[in-house]
Each structure stands twice: as C-alpha cells, then as structure tokens.
Structure 1
Amino acid sequence: MVQFDGLRPARLKVGVISAGRVGTALGVALERAEHVVVACSAISEASRQRAGKWLPDSLILPAPDVAAAAELLLLAVPDTELAGIVSGLAATGAVRPGTIVVHTSGAAGIGVLAPLTEQGCLPLAIHPAMTFTGADEDITRLAESCFGVTAADEVGYAIAEALTLEIGAEPFRVEETARALYHAALSHGGNHLVTVIDDALSALRAALPGRVGAVTAEDPDGIAERVLGPLVRAALANTLRDGRAALTGPVARGDSAAVARHLAALGDVDPGLAEAYRTNALRTARRAGASDEVMAVLTQ
C-alpha cells in the first residue's frame, strides 16, 4: 500500500507504460521531482532508444512486470489502446491494490480505469495540455503547461494536484462528464491551428516570385515562415490577452471587396483552400458582427 505524507505523495516507485513521447517526458519530470522510474515498457525501437536516453536507470520490462513494480503506474498509451491495456492488466492481476494508476488521455476520465479501481487502485486522469514532438524541449515545456485532472474524490484530486505541482506545472480540475468537451477544445485550438498555418504557408509560397499559381510545400529559403511567423505569434499573443478584441483584417473592417479578391485568388490555386478560408471567414464574420456586404460575399 502506498503511504502518503498527509495528502502529498511520498517518493514513489514509478512504472511507465509506455516509453513514448508523453510517457518519457513525464517520467523524466517525475524523476526530477525525486520520484524513481523503476521500469518502463518499450516495444518499438524508437521507444527503446528514447528510454535509453532519458530513463537510463529504468528497467525495460513487459507491461505486467512494469505494473507489478510500481506504486505509481503511468499509462501513457494512445487513447485507442487505453481500455485494452487496462482490461489486460486487470485480468492478470499485475497491479497491486493501493497503486496510484494515472492515464494521460485527454478525452477519457477515470471511468476507463474502472477494472483497476475495482481491484483497489486509486484512479487518476492527468492530461498535459501540451503537444509532444519527441524533441528535447518536450520536457521543458511540461513546466510551462497546465494539466487537466480528474479524480474520484478530494483525496484523489489532492494527490493529482500535488504530483502536477511537483513537476512545475499547473493543475486544473475537469469533471468526468466534461472530458470530451475539454479535449475537443484543445484539439480545435492545437491541432486545427496546424492546418490553418500550413494552409497559409502554402498560399504564401504560391504568391512568391516565380511560383505564382503553384501551391507547394517546398520553400528552401524559408521566406514564407519568416514572413508569417511574427504575424502569427503576435496574433496568438493578442488573442490570448484580448480575446475577440484582437481581431483585425478585412472581415473586421467590413472590406467585402478584399474578401472577394481573397476567395478568387485562393480558388485559382486551390479550391479546397478557398473553401477553408470561406468557412473560417464566415465564422469570424458572425462573431465580429460583420457588414451585410461581407456576409453576402461569404455566403454566395
């Protein structure tokens, strides 16, 4: 049985399933908070290399053995694999009663851990609201992140929040019934931003000298990134600070002629990109209370 100093976790033996981008980064962060990653599972060669680099003192073991060695078991597997991993561990009886079992899925709450909860484990959902690329900065970014936590009771929340604070991040509570909405918000803001920026870079490259009318992913000089980067960073900072008041551009100004020219130019090089622009511009126009002339251009 895991012992606690009040509601603050003692130094814990941590098991990580598996040593992917998220699991490795969190394992390192927990070790820096003086916990000990005693074992991890790593099936792919990339995961083995990652574990060898970042968790060199941890044993690489099959998942049931990792679970058996842990006081804090971190399930950092893809969302689609989480329920199967939990069911498999419950069937083997590998997880000892009293073990803190944490998963890192954004979409799922603690319900998915029910088979292990029924065996006496303490279930926690602790999701870092951060993107992970496998680069070294993943670990640094954790300390700049907020973590969405869900627990069964106040004791669970206290433990989840203490663990999060220990690694330098900021915890906030997400109700079990709100996990899907929470995850949708992060996906819309994080994942779809990549698509919008990639679209903008493609259009900008097509406007460069010698490339007009040819959408391409190639930009050996990186000029499109240098042009768009400062604008995007400023827009993001302004939006996070000022919300909708940060909006600028032709939709906000009511410049329907400019919007029409944008749609025509984008349509010439990529009709799909033009439709994406129309969809986003229409949503922007409705929020900005745009003029009838702008709405007419976007809805024709």
Structure 2
Amino acid sequence: MGQAVNRPARLAVGVVSAGRVGSVLGAALARAGHTVVAASGVSDASVRRAERLLPGVPLRPPDEVVSSADLVLLALPDDVLAPMVAGLARAGAFRQGQIVVHTCGAHGIDVLRPAVDAGALPLALHPVMTFTGAPEDLQRLDSCTVGVTAADGDDAAWNVGEALTVEMGAEPVRLPAAARPLYHAALSHGANHLATLVADCVELLRRGGVGEPERLLAPLLSAALDNALRHGDRALTGPVARGDTGTVDTHLRVLAERAPELLPAYTALAGRTATRAHRAGLLGQDDAAAITELLDDGREGQ
C-alpha cells in the first residue's frame, strides 16, 4: 500500500450515477464508514445495481444528489462529464467546501472548473480496473491502483485524494494533470485492444473448427502477458520476432482468404512486433527488412 495519509472525516456521499463504477465506489466508501445519502440512476440496470450495492439509498435527480452531499462522486462517461458539471453548476447544486470527484481517466481537474468556481475542492480519481458492477468488484478494488490528480501545489487536496483511495481499499498513484490524456490512451490501448485481440483469436479458432478455444488460449495468453510485464521486449516470441518470413506469408494468405477483416490489424501489430524485436536485438537488420517488406506487400493487397 502507498504512503500513510490522513483519513478524511466521515462524509455524506452523493453518487452520480449508479452505473458500474459509481455503484461500486459508492459501496466502497460506505464500507469505509462514509454515508451514501443519495444516488442518481434511471435505467433498470442502474436501479438494480443500487438495490444490490447501495441498499436503502434513495435515487434522486442529479442536482438533488449533489446538493445533499459533502463528497460528490461523478462516475460518468468521458463525453458526458463536462456538460453534466456545467448543468449542475447552473442549477446551483455545488457549494463551498464540497469535495467533487470524477472518475474519468482522460480528464484532469479542469473539467470541474464550474464546481471550483462555486467553492468546491476538485479531484480526479481513476481506478485502473474494469468494472462489472457486481459485488465482486469490491474485492478487486483491494488489488488495484487509482490515478489521483489534484491541483498543482495543493498538498492538502492531494492528501485527500490519496486518503479516499486508501479508504476504498486501493493504492493511490499521483498523476499530473498533463499526463492524463497519454496515460488514458496507454491504458485503453492495452486493456481495450487486448480484449478485442483475444475475442478475434477466439473467433478465428472457432472458424477453424477448434472446440472450446478459450481453454486453448487461456494458458498461452496468460503466460504471454506475465512474461511481457516481467521482461518487456525480451519476451517477444513467434515467427515475426524470429524472422520466419515463410510462416508470416502463410498467415497473411490464410487471413486474406478466411478473415480479411482481421488482416489490417495483423499486419499493423506484426509491424510493431518487428520494430520492437529489432530494437531489442532479437531480430537482425536483414530479417527485419524482409518481414517489413512482406507486411508492406500484404497491406498493398488488402
């Protein structure tokens, strides 16, 4: 766990909204001893999550949730956050002394400017995990990190963000506001595109008549991920990293015939693999050039 931080006073928490993230973080704050006084949520799924994770918490319109809370948790999609904050400010929902937290990875605290103008303390707390909205997410919080951003030079605000993170069971990592767009791009590129890549692999195996492809892939991909995190580029394996142009050519041909929609992704990732393998000293200059030429030919044929 990170450095010791002072615990915040017990706070009245308002959750906007009771989606997968908000409901779980609200439950984590309640577990830490704070009181969730209200939440917003209109969809059937949000209502069910609130009943399961925030039992007894009334569902109210967002402006009423915010006005009733000492700690406002804005668990909203990236593109919804700014207009929601502006609308809540116009409604007079924010007030002096509130703590206003958003959970978006891509934004710093500038998006909370209307709340700051009303006297609120702005924080950005982004949990680095995927959420299902199920109670199990509370246990998963105990092994995740949270990207914490507060105003530059405001040590008290940074300490509050770290303390709230620790209370929810996670480990805080300080993240300057200027780093957040690249930070979020990196996380999305890894987690979101990894899920797409795995789903594509499963689909390819099914097309080839392989039963239960998930069982086939699980140990291989788990080991690949572990090795990559431990050893970086030294963990690169496979025909591209070895310079096996014949095998790569076969891949390009079979994908063009059986799964042409995946060919652009394969050539792009194979190209990055060749570049990284060459830079790490795993792939010689001549072999790297041969692989690159083969991939370029494959792109031209797409």
Match of 2:255 among 242, 262, 266: 266
Give 1:295 shift: 2.3
Aligned position for 2:177: 176
Q: Which amino acid aligns with 1:272?
A: E
Q: Distance in 2 between matches of 1:250 and 1:64?
A: 57
Q: Please, which runs of 5 or more residues in structure 1 have no aligned partner?
A: 1-5, 210-220
2:80 and 2:191 mapped to 1: Cα distance? 22
Q: Secondary structure at the match of 2:137?
A: helix
Aligned to 1:196: 197
Residue 58 of structure 2 is aligned to residue 59 of structure 1: yes
How far does residue 156 in structure 1 lie from its aligned partner after superposition? 0.8
Contact 1:256–1:297 (CA under 8 A) maintained in structure 2: yes
* 1:7 to partner: Cα distance: 4.6
- Counterpart AA for 1:100: I
State the partner residue of 2:290. Answer: 293
TM-score by length of 2: 0.90
Q: Secondary structure at 2:133's aligned position in 1?
A: coil
Contact 2:24 2:134 in 1 (8 A): no
In 2, distance between residues paired with 1:92 and 1:198?
A: 44
Shift of 1:135: 3.2
- Give the TM-score, by structure 1 length: 0.91
AA in 2 matched with 1:180? P
Counterpart of 2:216 in 1: which secondary structure?
Answer: helix
Question: Residue 137 of structure 1: CA displacement?
Answer: 2.5
Match of 1:245 among 222, 234, 237: 234
**Distance in 1 between residues matched to 2:22 and 2:36, nearest whole Å:** 11
1:37 equivalent to 2:26? Answer no
Residue 214 of structure 1 is matched in structure 2 by none
The number of equivalent residue pairs is 283
Aligned residue for 2:225? 236
RMSD, aligned α-carbons? 1.4
Q: CA deviation at 1:133?
A: 2.4
Within 5 A, what are the aligned runs for 1:90-101?
90-101=89-100
String of CA shifts for 1:124-178, please: whole Å, max 9, x gaps. 0001111112333222222211111110121111000011011221111111112
Q: What is the aligned partner in structure 2 of residue 15 from structure 1?
A: 14
Amino acid in the other structure paired with 1:64: D
CA distance in 2, matches of 1:27, 1:140: 14
| Aligned partners of 1:7 and 1:155 also within 8 Å | no
Q: d(CA) in 2 for partners of 1:41 and 1:130? A: 23
For residue 3 of structure 1, what is the aligned residue in structure 2? Answer: none
Show structure 2 runs of 5+ residues with no match. 298-302
